[in-house]
Structure 1
């Protein structure tokens, strides 16, 4: 018994000692205490933003990663490759300009302009790139549509959300959630180099700091006019973000990977093996469900499948 306990402690300390951040790039803190624990009951934007969805690619991923197959509602479901998609979103504010949510995909992915792979062989072996069907690349789309990006909000820094970052101008701020970079995890030993390369050289990386426990849900009115709300929803990753965008015909709720799939949202089942902290993810998904129930929402956007129409309240 003593030796078993010693082994447990030894390997626990070893894992802690060799854990690291998801990226080695330096961050700038974005400090604000102007947050709340919930969305305002009455939201009256001074002006509305324009919201647009851009589908980047179709792909496939493990169902056991996308959904918690141990959830009682998932009884009968077996692990397999599930069709998914990759998106980025455009948020155009009439005063502050156009922002992106997530970064889409670079033109030469998985190779960089120098022909070298942007992801490690270990990462590539797990990501089923042979299943990837690309429709739109980020830089080409932005140039074609003359979009001048003022900033990118990352729902989180898992690799499939950073695939277009290296093509973005280095002056553009990359916003991430509280503790997304500064938290340390053992798995980051295997992905840090790939994340570094995908974010590109010396990215303008900005991490939100809301002045409270980063495990707590927080709501932040980014532009200060109730037109665009950042929702800090930890669990899938330490700094996962979701977004609520009011609109005249009913708002938009972007879930990030707090919920990957349409079925997961409709049944209230959290992600599976891809999630860092299942308990926190459960709390965050319940919060997002509450937002959908208490606010006028026209569409809900799971992290990796088509939007879901929501009946508007009468």
Structure 2
């Protein structure tokens, strides 16, 4: 029986517009870079998730690796150079001792050497920090993402977590044929239990990981969807850097929407869901989810989306400032300005 553990590996502060400003011109293309650099007063804190798959036949698979201690606690030394220091704050990441990947593995009776496979959805820093502890594992990246590995979320941000660490990962080209609405896929073990799907846009070559278990399926979508609400891409959009990236990400989201429609038992696992859905995922995926766990997730989705996957009200994200701090929260408002905090 397949088990999945949702690992909350620290948090990161991000501009509100990075998550929710994508329908506005200042968060598109080059203007988005300027907005990111300029806006220092509308931050929100979001979780960083990785997902541990305990497969009865193929061992343990880790989807993404979160951040490491030095990223959070020695940020200035880790990200040297004037451009990075000007763009990213010292408190960009928060990580408690017990949230470290190695600590979370240890609580489950595991050591880094017990991880057989690491699948990286994409090569952005908040998904890479734990790689240096897992160099004995089989590490899988899409070929297109590896070719673009020196591009972070912005072109001037390199990938320090790869420096001198990951030099020869296993590259995938999605050669297993179509899968549902996806024109290509990679059957990781050849038995359909774990399937890699191309979901480019947020990063070149970004991929998602589909887990097919008895009674439930889980799609780890990385940053294709920051939160599950971003499935409604006509209503909510994140930052998108350029028309090509926008087209690719919207196409990827549409394919995920089609997969959701065609797969009634499919659940989604975004990489940074700071709303009520994130804690529900953490509670449900602590091994094999029981019927009550699954029911709680499906209830949330039914309350959040219409059958056509349009967001029900309240659906409009609004930044809610905190007194004396640039770190606020998100409130979802309906047309009558009713508020549900996220």
Is the shorter-chain TM-score for this pair beyond 0.5, marking a shared fold?
A: yes
Q: Which residue of 2 aligns with 1:57?
A: 10
Q: Which residue of 2 aligns with 1:176?
A: 141
Q: Which residue of 1 aligns with 2:317?
A: none
184-193 vs 85-94, which moves further: 184-193
The 1:129/1:262 distance shift into structure 2, 3 A limit, reads: farther
Q: 1:132 aligns with which of 93, 101, 119?
A: 93
The SS at the match of 1:192 is coil
Alignment gaps of 5+ in structure 1: 1-47
Alpha-carbon separation, structure 1, partners of 2:262 and 2:173:
27
1:304 Cα offset (Å): 0.6
Q: Is the 8 A contact 1:66 1:273 kept in 2?
A: no
Q: Which residue of 2 aligns with 1:278?
A: 246
Q: Is the 8 A contact 1:106 1:167 kept in 2?
A: no
The 1:237/1:131 distance shift into structure 2, 3 A limit, reads: closer
Q: Which residue of 2 aligns with 1:120?
A: 80
The 1:249/1:256 distance shift into structure 2, 3 A limit, reads: same
Alpha-carbon separation, structure 1, partners of 2:24 and 2:212:
32
Query: Per chain length, whose mean CA-contact separation is higher, i.e. which structure has more relative contact order (CA < 8 Å, sep 6+)?
Result: 1
Alpha-carbon separation, structure 1, partners of 2:197 and 2:90:
31
The 1:281/1:116 distance shift into structure 2, 3 A limit, reads: closer
Alignment gaps of 5+ in structure 2: 28-34, 177-181, 282-295, 303-342
Asked whether 1:146 is paired with 2:110, we answer: yes
The 1:220/1:201 distance shift into structure 2, 3 A limit, reads: closer
1:96 Cα offset (Å): 1.3
Q: Is the 8 A contact 2:140 2:171 kept in 1?
A: yes
CA offset digits 1:172-228 (Å, max 9, x no partner): 22211231021487767633352433xx5354412212359xxx8522221112211
Alpha-carbon separation, structure 2, partners of 1:118 and 1:218:
37
Alpha-carbon separation, structure 2, partners of 1:217 and 1:120:
41
The SS at the match of 2:215 is coil
Q: Is the 8 A contact 1:155 1:242 kept in 2?
A: yes
Equivalent pairs counted in the alignment come to: 254
Q: Which residue of 2 aligns with 1:24?
A: none
1:60 Cα offset (Å): 1.8
Q: Which residue of 2 aligns with 1:163?
A: 129
Q: Which residue of 2 aligns with 1:20?
A: none
CA offset digits 1:50-86 (Å, max 9, x no partner): 11101111222122222343269x9xxx973233110
CA offset digits 1:141-194 (Å, max 9, x no partner): 2244324101211110011111221222x2322211231021487767633352
The 1:152/1:125 distance shift into structure 2, 3 A limit, reads: farther
Q: Is the 8 A contact 2:172 2:186 kept in 1?
A: no
- What is the TM-score with the length of structure 2 in the denominator? 0.64
Alpha-carbon separation, structure 2, partners of 1:202 and 1:69:
32
Q: Is the 8 A contact 1:300 1:309 kept in 2?
A: no
The 1:116/1:132 distance shift into structure 2, 3 A limit, reads: closer
1:1-314 aligned at under 5 Å gives the runs 48-70=1-23, 80-110=42-72, 117-121=77-81, 122-130=83-91, 132-135=93-96, 136-144=99-107, 145-147=109-111, 148-168=114-134, 170-183=135-148, 190-192=156-158, 194-197=160-163, 200-210=164-174, 217-266=183-232, 268=234, 269-273=236-240, 277-297=245-265, 299-305=267-273, 306=278, 307=281, 309-310=297-298
1:230 Cα offset (Å): 1.0
Alpha-carbon separation, structure 1, partners of 2:149 and 2:124:
14
Q: Is the 8 A contact 1:57 1:85 kept in 2?
A: yes
The SS at the match of 2:129 is coil
Alpha-carbon separation, structure 2, partners of 1:273 and 1:287:
18
Alpha-carbon separation, structure 1, partners of 2:165 and 2:73:
15
The SS at the match of 1:293 is helix
Q: Is the 8 A contact 1:251 1:296 kept in 2?
A: no
Alpha-carbon separation, structure 2, partners of 1:226 and 1:202:
28
